[in-house]
């Protein structure tokens, strides 16, 4: 997607820009690993280039490139972001320990960009005839542009506290998509309005940082969906190919009773399982509705159940 948009729109990037941008991005990770995102390095270098004239960069093209990468990232988040999750237990200001999901996903993305070579490469003839408006950026008239393959790493880190991981990924991807479209609009208009180059250079890292801050803040201060209930045990996660998954139990369900006996702690659950007959029946609540699940087995213990519960008390938290 990224490569197609870059070529169709016409976003030439000088190789010297990449030589400076990528190492500077790695340098910023010494301050914080999230600064590996090109929004930060691209914003800082664009602003320095506009003010001091060095490094010599085509700022609109750089803004457009980073906008397209974030547009690709937003699509990947919505389609694939929920697949790498880890259940965790966190502190909360208003509630007891809560369950949540830490989301971490990396995508190595092959990318083909348009570069502006020099010397003999720039004088070489041939190539495909392009429309008069192409390229939209750079003002090179399309002459001498060549394709150059690189690889970029897109990363998605998030917390799902107030929503399930798939819901959280869709919402985050939507906001990231809106951010990328805004940067792309600024990039296109900045070709004609110089002041928008300054605006884009400043807004690109600041808006990205605000999105991350607001996203985490909304999760930590919102109402968690995996809080410990007054009655029963909240299921945080269910391992695949276990008794719990075969019974159809899902994250967020509240286990109310086992074989007719109320369950309010994992200790009570273990005691009931030790004396369980050849079958189990569980009463649970899902989204406010009561349900029953059954399983026939000659032996069942807590490990074979494959269920992770939200604890009522703990001293070990994810940070």
Bridge partners of 146? 115
In this prediction the pTM is: 0.85
Q: What is the pLDDT of residue 156?
A: 95
For domain 233-309, which architecture applies?
Roll (2.30)
Q: How far apart are CA 153 and CA 106, in angstroms?
A: 7
List all residues 6 or more positions away from 309 whose beta carbon is below 8 Å from its beta carbon: 233, 234, 235, 236, 255, 266
> Whole-angstrom Cα distance, residue 311 to residue 319?
17
Which H or E run contains 12?
A: strand 12-13
Sequence ranges of the domains in the chain: 2-221, 233-309
pLDDT of residue 307: 93
pLDDT the model gives residue 143: 53
Q: Beta strand pairing status for 12-13 and 254-258?
A: unpaired
Query: Which string of DSSP letters, residue by residue, matches 56-107?
Result: ---HHHHHHHHHHHHHHHHHHHHHHGGGSEEEEEE--SSSSSEEEEEEEEEE
Q: Of 226, 245, 275, whose CA–CA distance to 90 is shortest?
A: 226
What confidence score (pLDDT) does residue 145 get?
74
Dihedral sign (CA 257, 262, 264, 265)? negative
pLDDT digits 0-9 by tens, 213-235? 999 999 988 899 999 998 999 99
pLDDT score at 278: 75
In 3D, which of 19, 44, 55, 98 has the Cα closest to residue 209?
A: 44
| Low-confidence stretches of the chain (pLDDT beneath 70) | 95, 116-144, 276-277, 298-303, 315-319
């Amino acid at each position: 997607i990224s490569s197609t948009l870059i070529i169709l729109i016409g976003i030439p990037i000088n190789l010297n820009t990449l030589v400076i941008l990528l190492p500077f991005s790695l340098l910023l990770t010494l301050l914080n690993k999230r600064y590996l995102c090109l929004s930060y390095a691209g914003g800082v270098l664009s602003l320095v280039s506009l003010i001091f004239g060095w490094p010599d960069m085509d700022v609109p093209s750089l803004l457009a490139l980073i906008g397209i990468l974030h547009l690709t990232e937003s699509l990947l988040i919505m389609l694939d972001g929920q697949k790498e999750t880890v259940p965790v237990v966190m502190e909360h200001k208003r509630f007891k320990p809560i369950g949540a999901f830490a989301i971490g996903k990396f995508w190595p993305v092959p990318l083909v960009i348009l570069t502006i070579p020099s010397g003999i490469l720039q004088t070489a003839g041939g190539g495909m005839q392009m429309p008069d408006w192409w390229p939209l950026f750079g003002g090179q008239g399309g002459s001498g542009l060549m394709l150059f393959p690189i690889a970029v790493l897109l990363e998605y880190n998030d917390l799902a506290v107030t929503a399930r991981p798939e819901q959280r990924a869709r919402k985050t991807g939507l906001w990231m998509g809106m951010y990328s479209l805004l940067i792309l609009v600024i990039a296109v208009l900045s070709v004609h309005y110089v002041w928008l180059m300054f605006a884009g250079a400043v807004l690109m890292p600041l808006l990205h940082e605000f999105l991350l801050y607001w996203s985490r803040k909304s999760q930590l201060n919102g109402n968690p969906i995996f809080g410990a209930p007054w009655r029963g045990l909240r299921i945080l996660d269910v391992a695949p190919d276990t008794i719990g998954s075969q019974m159809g139990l899902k994250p967020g369900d509240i286990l109310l009773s086992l074989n007719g006996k109320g369950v309010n702690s994992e200790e009570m659950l273990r005691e009931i399982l030790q004396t369980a007959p050849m079958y189990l029946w569980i009463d649970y609540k899902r989204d406010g509705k009561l349900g029953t699940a059954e399983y026939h087995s000659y032996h069942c213990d807590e490990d074979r159940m494959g269920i992770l519960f939200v604890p009522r008390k703990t001293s070990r938290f994810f940070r």
